[in-house]
């Protein structure tokens, strides 16, 4: 199992997400338990929701203790290098962007392997990536991450669609994986850099 | 399947709920993706929660793409007729009221068909109707809809009980359906019109 | 089934949690329906989340109507003795503390009986105890209970670990039960009395 690239992606994405959750928790002067709790929810929330929606049991982190170790590693890493990860705005953005890119692909692949339609699978990929952050934001009374001004969840959905298209036409997992990850990271970083937003739903008067 | 009245109710209720969600999303100047996300969560939240609580898989919207099409239709309808649906207070109330009435009956019937007790089925009907809105309100930092001043969730519970009683005594689905829908719509509209509220839990001093 | 001590613990814990939820609901001048709704969610939220995460169906309260009766009893008790339960700060603390202690043990035992690892079972015990309150707090826009200053969820986790250790070494259910309940209650009451907190995650400058 250790050699499976999806498994390594999942552990790596979990590590990045735990860091992002621990930063969010630490900001509010929570104690280390509350901060760890938020890091945990952030890291497992999206994948758990995906598996619950798909009825896929057991949940990954209940079945495999390495997920918890990845989260623990992310929390300890954040604690040790707090100033480094928190104050460098670009560093935080990078951790979060890598996390959502990896989780989008992991979630899309998992959904496909469970036999759902590609359009639902793309949504599940996006859910895997963003819902942990949404739950984190609801718990800490932030505006949920999906409503951030700069393109965010839509980048994940776009990446999932690219993954599914490449997988359909080329049937090479490494190409699909690499290109779709790059697509998500690129869209998100360019959107933040140039403050790109999608059009508002409500028409301007 | 297309001729099944429960199925048509479900698609229609989904359409109304997506409109109600898109209005809530649009109000906050979200982009069309965030607005669509809220519309989606509002429309599928209650039914998904019901099915997850009952362990009934696959979830309706994962199994049947028409649910997503209904949501999409609701979002596009809201976008095209934004001023119409938003500014006419009575129109919005009507969409929401029709949505909760249909979803209450759909949810109650679904729960009964899964073999749960009638009292639990009535609660599941109410959950189907109101929990999508509750999740929407939590995500947009509104006071959850269940705590609205005027009688709301209790109208759904009353309608579900009426449905189950009629179903028990008359065994005519169309009568049960028509009467209980009218009961919910009537209670809710009368409550809003005359600002009827239930007694407060805390005794006045 | 009625003679099973876990079952009596569950009904008693549910009763205490319903009281704690009804107090939270009543504070906000909700009507009795909204207050009952919050009491219900508080009482069944943690156990439902545990069972959904573990894929254990049917959920306890859907299968067994006595859970609903316990909740109803808690709501009526709170209504009748409102001034008593609300104004005596120590009384409220005691109800909540007994509730989390009982639910921690019930949740840990349930998870073990479903065959999960002891570390996951301890987390499930804590979830059972605190997540109903977390959902209650999210719905009423309070800061979630897990982030309270004084030691709270960590007391549950500690109690669950004590339970599992005693169970492993002594194999006497009544000893494990009594000692771990006392541990949770003692940690929590001492923490509130002396305002004990865990160290902050963010290092002080």
User: Over the stretch C97-116, which tens digit does the pLDDT of each residue have?
Assistant: 888 999 999 999 999 999 99
SS3 breakdown of chain A: % helix, strand, coil, rounded to 5?
80, 0, 20
Q: Do C117 and A79 touch (CB under 8 A)?
A: no
Nearest by CB to C138, which of B54, B138, B147?
B138
The reported pLDDT for the residue numbered C203 is: 64
The pLDDT tens digits for B28-47 are 778 888 899 999 999 999 99
- Cα–Cα nearest to A145, from A202, A203, A188, A194: A188
Count of alpha carbons within 13 angstroms of residue B139, beta-carbon side: 29
Contact B201 C141 (CB under 8 A): no
Q: Residues of C with CB below 8 A from B134's CB?
A: 139
ipTM above 0.85, yes or no: yes
Residues of A in contact with C120 (CB under 8 A): 62, 65
Q: Look at residue C29 in the predicted model and tell me its pLDDT.
A: 73
pLDDT at position B1 is: 45
Q: Which residues of A touch B26 (CB under 8 A)?
A: 201-202
Cβ within 8 Å, pair C37-B198: no
Q: What does the pLDDT average to over B62-66?
A: 93
pLDDT class of A94 with cuts at 50, 70, 90: confident
CB contact under 8 Å between C26 and B202, yes or no, is yes
Residue of B nearest to A205 (CA): B83
Q: A46 near A102, Cβ under 8 Å?
A: no
Q: pTM for this one?
A: 0.93
Ranking A141-155, C120-134, C176-190 by mean pLDDT, the lowest is: A141-155
**Nearest Cα to B173, choosing from B1, B44, B57, B9?**
B9
Percent of chain C scoring above 70 in pLDDT: 96
Q: Please give, rounded to a whole number of angstroms, the shortest distance from the CA of C5 to a CA of chain B.
A: 25
Are B201 and C26 in contact (CB < 8 Å)?
yes
Q: Is the pLDDT of residue C31 over 60?
A: yes
Cβ within 8 Å of residue B5, ≥6 positions away: B173, B177
Please enumerate in sequence order all residues whose Cβ is within 8 A of that of B32, keeping only pairs 6 or more positions apart, or say none.
A198, A199, A200, A201, B79
pLDDT per position as a tens digit, A121-143: 999 999 999 999 999 889 888 88
Phi-psi region of B92 (alpha: psi -120 to 50; beta: other; left: phi over 0): alpha
C52 to B52: CB separation less than 8 angstroms, yes or no: yes
Give the burial class of B20: count Cβ atoms within 10 A of its Cβ; 0-12 exposed, 13-18 middle, 19 or more buried: buried
Whether residue C3 is predicted with pLDDT greater than 60 in this model: the reply is no
DSSP B198: P
Asked if C200's CB is within 8 angstroms of A30's CB, the reply is yes
Pick among A31, A58, A78, A140 to test the C interface (most C CBs inside 10 A): A31
Confidence tier at A26 by pLDDT (50, 70, 90): confident
Contacts of A26 in chain C (CB under 8 A): 201-202
Residue A172 contacts by C-beta under 8 Å, 6 or more apart in sequence?
A166
Neighbours of B (≥3 Cβ pairs closer than 8 A)?
A, C
Q: From chain A, pick out residues whose CB is under 8 angstroms from the CB of C147.
A: 28, 30, 34
Domain ranges of chain B: 5-193
Buried b (16+ CB within 10 A) or exposed e, B98-124: bbbbbbbbbbbbbbbebebebebbbbb
């Amino acid at each position: 199992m250790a050699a499976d690239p999806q498994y390594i992606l999942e552990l790596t994405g979990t590590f990045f997400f735990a860091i992002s959750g621990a930063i969010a928790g630490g900001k509010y002067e929570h104690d280390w338990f509350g901060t760890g709790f938020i890091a945990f929810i952030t890291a497992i929330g999206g994948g758990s929701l995906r598996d619950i929606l798909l009825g896929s049991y057991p949940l990954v982190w209940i079945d495999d203790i390495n997920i918890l170790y990845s989260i623990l590693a992310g929390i300890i890493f954040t604690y040790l290098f707090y100033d480094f990860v928190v104050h460098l705005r670009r560093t935080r953005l990078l951790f979060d962007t890598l996390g959502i890119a990896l989780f989008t692909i992991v979630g899309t692949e998992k959904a496909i392997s469970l036999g759902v339609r590609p359009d639902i699978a793309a949504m599940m990929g996006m859910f895997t990536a963003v819902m942990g952050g949404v739950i984190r934001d609801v718990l800490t009374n932030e505006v949920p991450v999906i409503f951030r001004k700069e393109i965010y969840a839509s980048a994940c959905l776009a990446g999932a669609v690219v993954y599914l298209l490449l997988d359909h036409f080329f049937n090479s997992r490494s190409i699909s994986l690499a290109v779709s990850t790059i697509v998500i990271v690129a869209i998100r970083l360019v959107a933040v850099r140039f403050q790109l937003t999608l059009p508002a739903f409500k028409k301007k008067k």
